[in-house]
A and B are shown apart, each in its own frame.
Chain A
Amino acid sequence: MSKCTWESESNHGRIHQSLEWLPQQLFHEVIRKRLLIDGDGAGDDRRINVLMKSFTKWCHSNFSPEEGFSQYQRMLTTLAQCEFSMGKTLLVYDMNLKEMENYEAIYADIERSITSAHEKIAECKKEIQRAKRIRKNRQEYDALARVIKQHPDRHETLKQLEALDKELQQLSHIKENVEDKLELRKKQFHVLLTTIQELQQTLENDEKMESDDTQESSMENGD
């Protein structure tokens, strides 16, 4: 058995009257349902009951034509009010259904954007890894470039090497020339010296021969 948490005096009274013959559980169930639908007792349920009562009264009682007619008008008004209320409820029901659809659509949309955001995050992570690799490569390149820059330029060094080569060639050329001249002078001096020696030799020979001649002639004279 469930407890009714609302207490509505007028409704309680009415429902109690019509249902006191029901067993306890069903009684409470019905009360709960009735209270849920129309707990305050000021609305449609009461109107329908009033309409039913007045209709039966109107059918069974003997009214004068004017009273009957006014009663009839009053019933029509009540009926119209009931219909109006019903129409309103139907509209509200439709509105709720549409709202539900709207919310479902928004929900699906949000789900989609969540998944796409996840994908974007994964993409960006990959991008970051790539960018880090690129940055590392650039840094290494820069570091090596700095070291290389410290060394002198290759063209300059080549040019210096060429100039040095040329100088070396010139100097060796000069050296060759000087050596040749030295050889030549040596040879010339050698020739000069040998000629002097030979001349000296010849002169000595001549002197010797002359002294021999005079000796021979003095020996001949002495005979």
Chain B
Amino acid sequence: MGPVELLHMSVFSQSFSPCGRFLAAGNNYGEIALFSLSAALSPDASEGSQKPILNFTAHDGPVFSLLSTDTHLLSAGNGEISAWSWAELIKKVSQLFSKCMTSLEIPEINAMIINPKDNSLIVGGGDNNIHIMDMETGIFKSVLKGHTDYIHCLCFKEREEEILSGGEDGAVRIWGHTEIPLSRFQTCSGMVGQECARPQFGKWISCLATDSDWMLCGGGPSLSLWHLRSMSPTSVFPLPGCQREAVFHQDLIMSVGEGPYVSHCLHGGTVKAQIPCTPSSLNTLALNLKNTEHRVMTVGGSSHQIDVFTNFSYRAFSLSF
């Protein structure tokens, strides 16, 4: 990989392995790199341990979304979803487990989440619809239509088994289940309100996160915290750029987006801290909570380097492609 390619690389997605010791990252060239966290975090780590242990080309186009199940790594790019076995990947064999070509032509898949209760994969992409696929059989069970423009992000509410989706059309839609699984899912859609709107950036929603009763959404409009039961925005965060990913963690809200920093915010609407990082703008943030020894946060964006934070308040080191 030449220096020019490294310069133009963007990391779009990340996912931790089920054991929590490995990180998989996908970039805009269609490659997935596997990093060993235990090697990079050990006391005798060296330059070499910050390089990937395995780097393979997964898709023709960029890898927009990565998702880990208990045994497999699912990657999605332009219209196809591939599944890789984690056991094989850890042994440095990049053999394709199964490739599912979707029967519908989805131009790009931006977000994938899993519904653990009925073991289904929920996929949202460029054709304005949300597709639900059964993981056991690989058949697409149902389609949720309603968005008028492509879908950026998906989120799942465990308790009520509801799907939240945000898209380019500026709407956040909540899809709830009825008793009969294949019936039309009815929605209640909330348009992002006036306080958060920033017309200079547009109305697209690119990040969604939920914490049972609360929802974060941001993108073109400012990042805002909503109370779902009353459907009202409770706080608007004064972050200058467009946020691309946000998560709830203990009592903080962490979000990344335009700007070379990770913002820590409190629920009340104050920005507590902005931690600087190497990429000039960030696309993805991932927290490794599965493994207590390697409890880190990793962020990636428009750079070939992925920053690793062991203490969430400062950058420890960077992994690079």
Contacts and interface: CB of A to CB of B under 8 A. Distances in A.
Q: Are these two chains actual partners, yes or no?
A: yes
B227 A143 contact: yes
Interface string B208-251: 00000010000000000101001011110000000000000011
Given A143-B225, A143-B234, A136 B268 contact: no
Contact of A136 (B230, B232, B251): B251
Interface in A142-162: 142-144, 146-147
B266 A147 contact: no
A133 B227 contact: no
Interface string B176-194: 0000000000000000000
Interface of A: 129, 132-133, 135-136, 139-140, 142-144, 146-147
Given A136-B267, A140-B267, A143-B234, 8 more contacts: A133-B251, A136-B250, A140-B214, A142-B267, A143-B269, A144-B230, A147-B230, A147-B233
Contacts of A129: 250
Interface string B142-167: 00000000000000000000000000
Contacts of B232: 147
Contacts of A140: 214, 234, 267
Contacts of A133: 250-251
B219 to A, nearest CB: 20
A133 B250 CA distance: 7
A143 B251 contact: no
Q: Which of A129, A132, A135, A143 has the most CB of B within 10 A?
A: A143
Interface of B: 214, 225, 227, 230, 232-235, 250-251, 266-269
Contacts of B267: 136, 139-140, 142-143
A178 B100 CA distance: 79
Contacts of B268: 139, 142-143
Contacts of A144: 227, 230, 234
Closest 8 CB pairs of A and B: A139-B267, A143-B234, A136-B251, A132-B251, A139-B268, A135-B251, A132-B250, A147-B232
Contacts of A135: 251, 266
A144 B235 CA distance: 9
18 contacts: A132-B250, A135-B251, A135-B266, A136-B250, A136-B267, A140-B214, A142-B267, A142-B268, A143-B225, A143-B234, A143-B235, A143-B267, A143-B268, A143-B269, A144-B227, A144-B234, A147-B230, A147-B233
A140 B235 CA distance: 10
B145 to A, nearest CB: 32
Contacts of A142: 267-268
Nearest to B233: A147
Nearest to A140: B267
Contacts of A139: 251, 266-268
Contacts of A132: 250-251
A87 B266 CA distance: 75
A136 B211 CA distance: 12
B311 to A, nearest CB: 13
Contacts of B227: 143-144, 147
A135 B268 CA distance: 10
Q: Which of A132, A140, A142 has the most CB of B within 10 A?
A: A140
Contacts of B234: 140, 143-144, 146-147
Q: Which of B230, B233, B251, B268 has the most CB of A within 10 A?
A: B251
A144 B227 CA distance: 8
B190 to A, nearest CB: 14
B118 to A, nearest CB: 30
A112 to B, nearest CB: 27
A140 B215 CA distance: 12
Nearest to B230: A147
Nearest to A128: B250
A174 B41 CA distance: 85
Contacts of A143: 225, 227, 234-235, 267-269
B168 to A, nearest CB: 28
Nearest to A150: B232
A157 B214 CA distance: 28
A132 B264 CA distance: 14
Contacts of A136: 250-251, 267
A75 to B, nearest CB: 68
